[in-house]
Amino acid sequence: MAARVSVVLADDHPIWRDGVRADLGEGFEVVGEAGTAEEAIAAIRANRPRLVVCDLNMPGGGGLKVVRACGEETRIVMLTVSEAERDLLDAVAAGAVGYLVKSTPPVELRAALLRASGGEPVFSPALAGLVLGEFRRMAKASSGTQPLSEREREVLVLVARGHTYKQVGAELYIAEKTVENHVRNILGKLHLSRKQELIRYAVEHGLE
């Protein structure tokens, strides 16, 4: 039996945390809870979870403060009511590995969080278009040589859209392991250490 994913839940509404805990089911183990940003940071450092599910708007600095403080220590997914483009992009820039809306059905939520626990970026489908729209708006003229191959650019864009490695492989007609290798090569070429930084790179360099 696979080990359960350890999770810290951070939201200033206890009833909402109860609902998320119930939705997570048996594949996850809630090892800590928090109602403020400072409590979340303390819970993360005390329990060292594999995953953090965090509201964007909480007392004490909100989810962005949590990501900036602990994004290098664990994988953090924003679970929020906000579908604002700026909120999404700020979360990604801060280092969140995912951004999901609270209306996400439980089955989809569990699947997305399992992927996030493995380091894959995840987004609510309706929000992926916002990320790609920002790629276009932030496109910059560059005199430098693009360090990525065309295939690597294709992989990067699909990962930024929230596709799983399996979905990327199916769309590009390559093996899932090959996708993983491409991601590793992209990280190396761009001198990045975390998969969510691929999205940040895409935003900054106008990939679409």
47 & 146 share domain: no
pLDDT recorded at residue 186: 73
pLDDT recorded at residue 142: 35
147 & 173 share domain: yes
pLDDT recorded at residue 48: 94
pLDDT recorded at residue 206: 57
119 & 138 share domain: no
50 & 117 share domain: yes
Q: Which pTM does this prediction carry?
A: 0.67
pLDDT recorded at residue 7: 95
Q: How many helices and strands in the chain, by DSSP H and E?
A: 10, 6
pLDDT recorded at residue 135: 45
Phi, psi of 123 (to 5 degrees): -140, 150
Q: Which of 3, 5, 1, 2 is nearest to 118 (CA)?
A: 5
CATH number of the domain at 197, please: 1.10.10.10
DSSP 8-state class, residue 26: G
Q: Considering its fold, how many domains does the chain have in total?
A: 2
- Cβ count within 10 A of residue 195: 19
Sign, Cα dihedral of 101, 85, 167, 30:
negative
| CA separation for the pair 58, 36 (Å, rounded) | 5
3-state secondary structure of 165: helix
pLDDT recorded at residue 143: 36
CATH number of the domain at 11, please: 3.40.50.2300
pLDDT recorded at residue 118: 84
Sign, Cα dihedral of 81, 82, 88, 93:
negative
pLDDT recorded at residue 140: 38
CB-count exposure of residue 197 (10 Å: 0-12, 13-18, 19+): buried
Contact 131, 160 (CB under 8 A): yes
| Single residue among 104, 123, 142 that ends a domain in this structure | 123
Low-confidence ranges of the chain (pLDDT < 50): 1, 135-145
pLDDT recorded at residue 192: 56
Which domain range does residue 188 map to?
A: 132-205
| Single residue among 65, 90, 123 that ends a domain in this structure | 123
pLDDT recorded at residue 204: 60
108 & 177 share domain: no
136 & 113 share domain: no
pLDDT recorded at residue 182: 81
